[in-house]
């Protein structure tokens, strides 16, 4: 068996399963403008609103997504640092984020 320097040990016969530590997630960088966009591509025609450009850590992003879902009264998710909200709720999302102090732009169609 060849050992690679990039390989990670996940199980050892001496101690069993080895817990891996994840590196802390870095805060994304950007221009500080939150962009709200409606997307249907790859979703079988179902529209979702994507909110990106939020310079927040993962935990804060999830908390904000939860608040947005409550304001809109619909479902959603956080994927790869982008909040996805089901339905077309751009105006209510924009008003909510502006009250929170974010600079917001409506992008796309």
Region of 87 (left: φ > 0; alpha: ψ -120 to 50; beta: rest) is: left
- Hey, where are the domains in the chain? 24-107
d(CA 55, CA 27): 6
Nearest-CA neighbor of 109 among 43, 52, 35, 54? 35
SS3 9: coil
Specify the fold of 24-107.
Answer: Translation Initiation Factor Eif1 (3.30.780)
Average pLDDT over residues 8-36: 66
Residues 27-85 have pLDDT tens digits of 556 677 889 998 887 777 778 889 888 888 888 889 999 999 998 888 888 988 889 99
d(CA 6, CA 31): 34
SS3 78: strand
What was the pLDDT predicted at 46? Answer: 79
């Amino acid at each position: 068996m060849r050992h690679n320097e990039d390989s990670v040990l996940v199980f050892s016969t001496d101690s069993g399963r080895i817990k891996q530590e994840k590196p802390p997630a870095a805060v994304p960088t950007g221009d500080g403008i939150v962009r709200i966009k409606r997307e249907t591509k790859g979703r079988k025609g179902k529209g979702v609103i994507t909110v990106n450009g939020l310079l927040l850590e993962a935990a804060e992003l999830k908390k904000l997504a939860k608040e947005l879902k409550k304001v809109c009264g619909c479902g959603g998710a956080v994927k790869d640092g982008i909040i996805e909200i089901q339905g077309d709720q751009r105006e209510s999302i924009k008003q909510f984020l502006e009250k929170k102090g974010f600079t917001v732009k409506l992008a796309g169609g």
